[in-house]
A and B are shown apart, each in its own frame.
Chain A
Amino acid sequence: MNRRRLGALALVATLAVSPLAVVSASSAASAATRTNVTFAYDFPGPDFELTPLVVAQDRGYFAAAGLNVKIAFPPNTSTTTRMLATGSADIGFITTTDMGVAINAGAPVLSVANYSMRNNWALFAKPGSSVTAKNLKTQLKGKRIFSYGDTWTEAMLPFVLRAAGLSASQVKIVTDPTGNDLTSLLQGRVDYSTSTTNYEIPGFVGSKTKGNLVTVLGTAVGAPDVPIWVYATAKSYASAHGATVKAFLSAVKKATIWAAKNPTAAAADFSKAYPKSGYTNAYNQLGWKLTIPYLTNSKGQYFTQTDAQWTTLAKALKSIKLISSVPSPSTYYTNKFLP
């Protein structure tokens, strides 16, 4: 069972964890003296992007920071923002597009750090396809393109079509929130799938299909190179528990750096923490390894957000009418809790 998480607006929880299940791995002895933090993931079940959190948990980074972190899973991908806004979770993991629509809807949330720093969203075709960034127009015209119907894909596709010189009506967008883009692609139900490289490639490898998955990175065809995932919290939580947020980010940063340096051990940590996630260790390991390059910016920095990334994103969202206006970038984020 391999599935992309970015897009999947899953209508149902996956088998691994029941909705809002709370998992705690902290030792009971000193737990009472530590600060409790409920962390909400953006997908109903765990997958390898949770590796830094698992490492922070299992290798004592949270404990050292005086935190007792519980990881919660939402019933579907659009609930995490609400969990933050209503206080049923303290800190969460969401996409930057989630942030965009949340601010637009008046939800008092705040992005406190980037998870990834760049955009690894891409268009994929079956082995043997001759599609490249140069010949998009002829290759895409009249073809079926899979979308989970998520805001990220909705925001990115127009850039690809614009680069190809095609209108939305010149391609067939297949929207399937609960489907599987890779299966649809490999079985010939669609001509192109859309996803991020760190999810699509391990899935492809796991399918044991001959040849190489043909990949056209979004950034190669005009999509903005902006972060996809961020750590966020409620504005009220940030102002009342600034020290906790800072301690959390500090522990996660240390764990992220460790996990980036020891990808095999880190992936094994994840596989051990979630043996019933439905993914193999090989998948987790490859997925995590493909995630690592996107965790840092060109200067080698983790977490740091910029005005430019939020302005670019907001403009993209406004151009597809997902949000009504482009607010000041500071509405979305702050770097003041960065370690």
Chain B
Amino acid sequence: MSRKLLRNVGVPLLSLLVLGGLWQAIVVGFHIAPYIAPRPMQAIDAVTSNWSTLWPLALGTIRETVYGFLVGAALGVFFGVIMAKVPVLQRSVYPVLVLSQAVPIIALAPPLVLILGFGVTPKIVIVAWIVFFPVTVNVVDGLSHVDQDLVNLARVYGAPRWRTFLQIEVPATTTPLFSGLKIGATYAVTGAIIGEGASGSYGSSLALYQVHANSNLDAAAVYGTTMLMTAIGITWFLLVVATEVAVTPWQRRSVARQPLRRRGVASAGEGTSIGSTPLKGES
């Protein structure tokens, strides 16, 4: 157990330390001025010593990230399902969705502001815009690769289409769905930051704080803010991974945990017999 913990936490931590050391070595070794690039500890200090200012801004970014991600994921699943189910839509909608991703987000922001204002909405739209696409692509892919024999088996049983969809096609798409969600999760924070930087806001935001720090030659705050943004991104990604782990126990376990709802059921042996027809197999 502790060995596993060491491998899962210790090793990534060690590589972070090595990265920090390398950073320190470059800044010190090349005599890089503090207004060009700070040392790691200066960047961390720029975050901790301004925590009361940064935390509300970070909360704003987190809110945009989470809301945008949820909206994007829902849209992604919706588009994925309708395109996988209606071939005409796949042919007509898919190109439009691909086109939507070719639009530079920077170019998208100004019209969004004109329509949606300077509030949180345009940021959420930008995050959702970025997140939905990998989800859609993976859901379409997943749904179109569901084992047709399994779908046929459900048909032989007389299953209605919606039950086949919920019981067979949806769970069979879990893995590609989460691939899409994980890609989306890594993009979500980037989207929120781009949204904050490119669409303006009432008051400040994490991105604007960084822009200010940059124009004030406060490199420590620039790097520190970047670290904070990265931390938000990593945390969100890990939360999505944790969700995947929680909802796909069969990927890692060979035996299911005992679910609570089954506790009340009497043990086998007192139920009905399967031999409903009389025995007559023997000739």
A and B touch in the complex (CB under 8 A): yes
Segment at the interface with B among A97-105, A194-202, A209-217: A97-105
Query: Roughly how many angstroms separate A86 CA and B219 CA in the complex, as a whole number?
Result: 14
B113 near A: Cβ within 8 Å? Answer: yes
Assuming the contacts A176-B113, A189-B118, asked whether A106 and B35 have C-beta atoms less than 8 A apart, the reply is: yes
Q: Please state if B35 and A174 are interface contacts (CB–CB under 8 Å).
A: no
B91 to chain A, nearest CB (A): 35
In the complex the two chains form, what is the Cα distance from A98 to B35 in whole Å? 13
Q: Is B114 an interface residue (CB 8 A)?
A: yes
Distance between Cα atoms of A104 and B109 in the complex (Å): 34
Q: Is A131 an interface residue (CB 8 A)?
A: no
Evaluate contact between B203 and A173: CB separation under 8 angstroms.
yes
- Our pick among A107, A173, A177, A322 for the contact of B35 (Cβ within 8 Å) is A107
Is B106 an interface position by the 8 A CB rule?
Answer: yes
Q: Which of A107, A149, A189 has the most CB of B within 10 A?
A: A149
Interchain nearest-CB distance for A117 vs B (Å): 23
Q: Which residues of B contact A107 (CB under 8 A)?
A: 33, 35, 217
Closest chain-B Cβ to A181's Cβ sits at a distance in Å of 10
Q: Provided the pairs A78-B215, A105-B218, A151-B216 are in contact, do residues A175 and B200 lie with their beta carbons within 8 angstroms?
A: yes
Measured CA separation A107–B201 after assembly (Å): 30
CA distance A86 to B202 in the complex (A): 35
**Per-residue 0/1 for A65-106: is the Cβ within 8 Å of any B Cβ (1 yes, 0 no)?**
000000000001110011001100000000000100110111
Residue of B33, B36, B201 near A174 (CB, 8 A) is: B201
Q: Is the interface of A mostly helix, strand, loop or mixed?
A: loop
A150 CB contacts on chain B under 8 angstroms: 215
Q: Do A180 and B208 contact each other (CB < 8 Å), given the known contacts A78-B217, A102-B217?
A: no
Q: Knowing A85-B35, A178-B109, A189-B113, say if A151 contacts B208 (CB, 8 Å).
A: no
Chain A residues with CB under 8 A of B110: 178-180, 183
| Given A9-B211, A105-B34, A105-B35, residue A82 in contact with residue B217 (CB < 8 A) | yes
| B199 at interface, CB cutoff 8 A | yes
Instruction: Judge whether A11 is part of the interface by a CB distance below 8 angstroms.
Output: yes
Interface range on chain B (Cβ under 8 Å from partner)? 20 to 34
The count of chain A contact residues (Cβ–Cβ below 8 Å) is 34
Within 8 A of B (CB), among A145-189: 149-151, 172-180, 183-184, 187, 189
Q: Is A220 an interface residue (CB 8 A)?
A: no
Contact across chains for B217 and A101 when beta carbons are under 8 A apart: yes
Q: Give A101 to B217 CA distance when docked, in angstroms.
A: 7
Say whether A177 contacts B197, CB under 8 Å: yes
Q: Which residue in chain A gives the minimum CB-CB distance to B113?
A: A179
Cross-chain contact of B215 among A86, A98, A176 (Cβ < 8 A)? A98
On whether the beta carbons of A106 and B216 are closer than 8 Å, the reply is no
Please give me the 5 A-B residue pairs with the lowest Cβ-Cβ distance, nearest first.
Answer: A176-B200, A105-B217, A78-B215, A105-B35, A101-B216
A-B contact pairs, 20 of them (CB 8 A): A9-B215, A11-B106, A11-B198, A11-B211, A77-B215, A78-B214, A78-B216, A86-B36, A101-B218, A102-B217, A107-B35, A149-B211, A149-B212, A172-B202, A175-B204, A176-B118, A178-B109, A178-B197, A179-B113, A187-B114
